[in-house]
A and B are shown apart, each in its own frame.
Chain A
Amino acid sequence: MAIQSKTKNNFTTASIIIFFSVVSLIALMPFVFLTLSSFKPGVEMIRNGLSLQLDFENFSLTNYGYLLTDRDGVYMHWYKNSIIITALQTGGGLLLSSMVGYALALYRFKGRNLTFLLVLVVMMVPIEILLLPLYKLSITLKIINTYRGAFLPFLVSMTGIFFFRQYAIGLPKELMEAGRIDGCTEFGIFFKIMMPLMKPAYGAMTILLAMASWNSFVWPLIVMRDTAMQTLPVGLQTMLTPYGNNYNMLMSGAVVAVLPIMLVFLFNQKSFIAGMTAGSVKG
C-alpha cells in the first residue's frame, strides 16, 4: 500500500515537472527567438515574419555592428538617454519617496491622513488620462525634449511612498529618541540613523523604479519628439517602419536593451521578485 502510493506520488511529481517545464519554455520562447533572429538579415523579418527556419550558415554579427554605426550611431544615443533618465529618475525617486513615506509613518502632524489618502487617490488614477494636460504643461514649462521632461512628472513615486511608509512603520522609534538625546537634528536622524535601517526597502524599490523607468514607453513617446533624445523603447518602436535597414537593428537592438536586465536578474532573483511585487499590500 505504502509503496504503491509512493510510485503514484512520483508519477504525479514527474508529470507536474514536465508540465511546468513546457510552460516555462513557452515563457522563455520570445527571448530565444528574438536572439536567434538578431543574427539573421533584417529582410528575412519583412519577408517571412519570425520564422522557425534557422539557416545557421547565414548567421552573422553584422546586425550588432549596425548598432554602433547606423544613422550616426543613433542607437547609442538612445542607450545613453535611457541610462541617464533611469539613473536620475531612480535616484531622485528613491530619495524623495522615502522622505515622504518616512514622514508619513513616523511623525504625527496635521494633514497626515489627508496626505496619505491623496497618495492612494493618485495611485488609483491611470496616468494615461493625464497625458494631454501633462503634454501641454511640458510645452509651457519648456521641458519637451529634455531629460528632466522625461522624468519630472513621475519623479515622486506613489508606490514608493506607499512602500517606504509600510516599511518605516516597523522601524524602532526608540532610536529616534536616542538620536535626539545625542543632539541629532530631525534631518540627522533620518539620514544617519533611519536611512541605513531602510536598506532592504531601498533595494527593493531600486529594482522597481529602475525597471519602470527603463521600460517606460508612453510618456517618453510623447515628451521626446527629437530622434536623438528618444529612449530605447521609443526609439526601437520608431524603427518598426520597414525602410532602409531599420529591421537589421531592430532585433539586435532589442536584445542589447533587454540583456542587462536579464543578467542582473539572474544574479539577484530574490530581490527582483521582492521589488517587482512590492506594490502588493503587505502586513
Chain B
Amino acid sequence: MAAGNKTMGATSIKGFITSRKVFPYIFILPFVLSFLIFFLYPIISTIEMSMQSIKGFDSIEFIGLKNYKNLFNRQFFNALSVTARYTFWTILILIPIPLVLANILNSHLTKGGNIFKSALFMPALTSVVMAGLFFKFAFAEQPTALINSIIVSLGGEPFRFLYTKTGAMLVLVLFCTWKWMGVNLIYYMSALKSIPAEIYESADIDGANSIQKFLKITVPSVRPTIIYVLTISVYGGFSMFAESFTLFNGARSPGDIGTTLVGYIYNQGINQNNFGLASAAGLVLLGLVLLINVIQLFLTGSFRKEA
C-alpha cells in the first residue's frame, strides 16, 4: 500500500511489484480475496438474511428479529438438545479416556505401542459416509444385525437403536468415539513425551503411586493439550451433521431423534428454502460455539496466545 511509494518513483513497475515492501501483500492476496468473498460476504449476507423473510428469489421482506423469535419452536430446541447432549457425551469420553490410554502406552509399551497407535488411528482416515455404513447396518433393527445378534445370543431382546432417542444418541456417540479416539491418543502421546522423566523419578523416590503421579504430574503437564482437544471437541460436536445424515439417510430422523443444529439449518435452508429462519439458526449456532469456547478458555484460565 502506501509503503511502496518511495520505490515507485525510482524503479519500473516490475521493480515495484517485486520490491520487498509490496511483495508480502501480493503473497497474502489469496487469503484476503478468499476472506472477503467466501467469509466476510457470506457472514454479512447471513446476518442480513436472518432479518428477512425470503420466499423465492424475488420476494424479500425485512422483518427485523422475527426469525429469531420463530426459532422458539420445538424442532429447534430439539435440535439444540441433540447437539448439546452429543457434545457433552463425546467430551466426557474423548477427553479422559485417550489420556489414560496414552499414559499406559507411553509408560509400559515403549516399543510395541506403534502398532496399536496405527490401528487406533485408521478410523480417522475414513470418510464419515463409508464408516457410517458400518454403524448404520451393524446397529440395524433386525435381530440378525451384528450388535443385535450379540444381544440376542446373550439372552436379550433385539433393540431398535436408530429408532429410539437413547439408541440414536448411543450410536452417534460410539461413532464419534471410534473415529477420534486414535487422533486424541496421538495428541496426548506427543504431549506426554515432553514431560521430563526426572519428575516421575523423584515422585517415585517420594513414594507416589501411579494414580497420584497421573493426577499430580501427568494431567497438569498436558493441560495445554487437554484444552486444545476440548476446543476442537466443542467445535466438532456443535457442527456435527454428516454422521447423522448418513445414519438416518437425510437431514431428518424418525421423530428428529438424531437431527442436529446443522441438520436443522440444512432442512430449513436447503430443503425448504426458508433462508431467513435457517440463517438465524446459523447465527445462534455461531454465538453458542464462540460463547462456550470463551467460557471454557476462561474457566481453564488460559487466554494464552496461540502463536
Residues of A whose CB lies within 8 Å of any CB of B are 12-13, 16-17, 20-21, 23-24, 26-31, 33-34, 37, 45, 47-53, 96-97, 99-100, 102-104, 107, 109-112, 115-116, 118-120, 122, 124-137, 152-156, 161, 185-187, 190, 211, 214-215, 217-218, 221-222, 232-234, 236-237, 240-241, 250-251, 254, 257-258, 261-262, 265, 269, 272-273, 276-277, 279-281
Q: How many Å lie between the Cα of A132 and that of B277 in the bound state?
A: 11
The reply on B192 being an interface residue by CB < 8 A is no
Question: Taking the nearest CB of chain B, how far is it from the CB of A241, in angstroms?
Answer: 7
Q: Are B249 and A262 in contact (CB under 8 A)?
A: no
Q: Given A99-B30, A133-B42, 18 other A-B contacts at CB below 8 A?
A: A12-B108, A16-B108, A30-B131, A30-B134, A50-B138, A50-B146, A103-B24, A107-B20, A133-B43, A137-B42, A156-B30, A185-B18, A217-B129, A241-B249, A251-B133, A261-B125, A269-B118, A279-B232
- Which candidate, B69-77, B200-208, B233-241, is the interface stretch facing chain A? B233-241
For B35, the chain A residues whose CB sits under 8 A away are 118, 122
- Which candidate, B163-171, B179-187, B211-219, is the interface stretch facing chain A? B179-187
For B18, the chain A residues whose CB sits under 8 A away are 185-187
Residue of A nearest to B35 (CB): A118
Top 10 nearest A-B pairs (CB, nearest first) are A49-B145, A49-B140, A133-B42, A24-B119, A215-B127, A50-B137, A103-B27, A129-B282, A30-B134, A126-B239
Among the listed A102, A109, A156, A280, which residue makes an inter-chain contact with B3, where contact means beta carbons less than 8 Å apart? Answer: A109
Q: Are A102 and B145 in contact (CB under 8 A)?
A: no
The reply on B34 being an interface residue by CB < 8 A is yes
Question: With A23-B120, A211-B125 as given contacts, are A128 and B285 in contact (CB-CB < 8 Å)?
Answer: yes
Q: Are A126 and B238 in contact (CB under 8 A)?
A: yes
Q: Are A50 and B140 in contact (CB under 8 A)?
A: yes
Q: Are A128 and B262 in contact (CB under 8 A)?
A: yes
The reply on B283 being an interface residue by CB < 8 A is yes
Q: Are B127 and A20 in contact (CB under 8 A)?
A: no
For A269, the chain B residues whose CB sits under 8 A away are 114, 118, 121
For A16, the chain B residues whose CB sits under 8 A away are 104, 108-109
For B119, the chain A residues whose CB sits under 8 A away are 24, 27-28
Q: Which residues between 98 and 136 of chain B lie within 8 Å of chain A, taking CB atoms? A: 101, 104-105, 108-109, 112-131, 133-136
Q: Are B41 and A100 in contact (CB under 8 A)?
A: no
Q: Are A272 and B235 in contact (CB under 8 A)?
A: no
What band does the interface of chain B fall in when counting residues whose beta carbon is under 8 Å from A? 35 or more
Among the listed B31, B49, B286, which residue makes an inter-chain contact with A133, where contact means beta carbons less than 8 Å apart? Answer: B49
Interface of B is mostly: helix
For B109, the chain A residues whose CB sits under 8 A away are 13, 16-17, 20
The reply on B246 being an interface residue by CB < 8 A is yes
Q: Are A107 and B282 in contact (CB under 8 A)?
A: no
Q: Are A257 and B130 in contact (CB under 8 A)?
A: yes
Among the listed B37, B126, B137, B269, which residue makes an inter-chain contact with A49, where contact means beta carbons less than 8 Å apart? Answer: B137
Question: Taking the nearest CB of chain B, how far is it from the CB of A169, in angstroms?
Answer: 9
Among the listed B42, B149, B182, B282, which residue makes an inter-chain contact with A51, where contact means beta carbons less than 8 Å apart? Answer: B149
Interface-central residue, B34, B119, B279, by most chain A CB under 10 Å: B34
Residue of B nearest to A113 (CB): B307
Q: Are A45 and B137 in contact (CB under 8 A)?
A: yes
Q: How many Å lie between the Cα of A75 and that of B134 in the bound state?
A: 20
For B141, the chain A residues whose CB sits under 8 A away are 49
For B27, the chain A residues whose CB sits under 8 A away are 99-100, 102-103, 107, 190
Q: How many Å lie between the Cα of A179 and that of B72 in the bound state?
A: 62
The reply on B148 being an interface residue by CB < 8 A is yes
Question: With A20-B109, A50-B145 as given contacts, are A109 and B122 in contact (CB-CB < 8 Å)?
Answer: no
The reply on B142 being an interface residue by CB < 8 A is yes
Q: How many Å lie between the Cα of A177 and that of B151 in the bound state?
A: 69
Residue of B nearest to A264 (CB): B125
Residue of A nearest to B137 (CB): A50
Residue of B nearest to A53 (CB): B144
Q: Which residues between 255 and 299 of chain B lie within 8 Å of chain A, taking CB atoms? A: 262, 265-266, 269-270, 275, 278-279, 282-283, 285-286, 289-290, 293
Q: Are A126 and B145 in contact (CB under 8 A)?
A: no
Q: Are B108 and A218 in contact (CB under 8 A)?
A: no
Q: How many Å lie between the Cα of A208 and that of B144 in the bound state?
A: 38
Q: Are B187 and A277 in contact (CB under 8 A)?
A: yes
Q: Are B31 and A115 in contact (CB under 8 A)?
A: yes
Q: How many Å lie between the Cα of A280 and that of B181 in the bound state?
A: 15
Among the listed A31, A45, A129, A257, which residue makes an inter-chain contact with B285, where contact means beta carbons less than 8 Å apart? Answer: A129
**What 1/0 flags go to B13-55 for Cβ under 8 Å of A?**
0000011110111011011101101110111011001000000
Q: Are A130 and B142 in contact (CB under 8 A)?
A: no
Question: With A132-B46, A153-B38, A258-B130 as given contacts, are A28 and B122 in contact (CB-CB < 8 Å)?
Answer: yes
Q: How many Å lie between the Cα of A71 and that of B125 in the bound state?
A: 28
The reply on B190 being an interface residue by CB < 8 A is yes
For A48, the chain B residues whose CB sits under 8 A away are 142, 144-145
Q: How many Å lie between the Cα of A96 and that of B279 in the bound state?
A: 30
